[in-house]
Amino acid sequence: MSTTRRRRFALIIGVIIAASACLALGWWQWSRFESNSGTFQNLGYALQWPMFAAFCVYAYRKFIRYEEAPSEAAPTADTVTEIPAGLLPERPTAKTTSDELDPALREYNAYLAELAKADKTHEDQNRTTA
């Protein structure tokens, strides 16, 4: 037995509960509309809730049709699965700055290189965090 058949009973129960709840809420809004404090907003909701119940049933039927439909065949070797090269716009490239153009950047990189060199020389030492 497939998994779709095993869970179908649970789906039917879920649809019945959802549709019944929607119809009960529609009845409640209708009774609110008929009361002394009822407004046309209650009438609108009273007409909406049955449509929600119908949508629950419609969605279940559509789900079952999709579930029972044969799956699409896997793409064959001759089908195109990549986007053509000229279809999308080209991404902008980042500007590359030379160290000669920015002396502050050159000094900072030299400083980082010194720190990395000093860290390598002290790498053999036993460091504690105390």
Q: What is the token pair recorded at 97?
A: 């700055």
Distance CA 34, CA 29 (A): 9
Residue 40: what pLDDT?
Answer: 93
Residues 6+ apart with CB under 8 A from 50: 22, 23, 26
pLDDT in tens, 99-112: 566 788 888 989 99
Question: How far is Cα 79 from Cα 5, in angstroms, rounded to an integer?
Answer: 34
Query: pLDDT-based confidence at 82, cuts 50/70/90?
Result: confident
Distance between alpha carbon 23 and the CA centroid of its chain, in Å?
Answer: 31
Report d(CA 49, CA 24) in Å as an integer.
8
| 123: helix, strand or coil | coil
So what's the pLDDT on residue 81?
A: 74
Q: Work out the pLDDT band at 121, boundaries 50, 70, 90.
A: confident
Distance of CA 82 to the CA centre of its chain: 23
Mean pLDDT of the chain: 84
Q: Could you tell me the pTM of the whole model? A: 0.51
Rounded average pLDDT over 57-63: 95
**Percentage of residues in the chain with pLDDT exceeding 70?**
81
Any idea where the domains of the chain sit in the sequence? 3-68
In 1-130, the DSSP E strands lie at none
Mean pLDDT of 88-98: 77
Predicted confidence band of residue 84 (pLDDT cuts 50, 70, 90): confident
3-class secondary structure, 126: coil
pLDDT at res. 119: 85
Residue with tokens 């407004």: 39
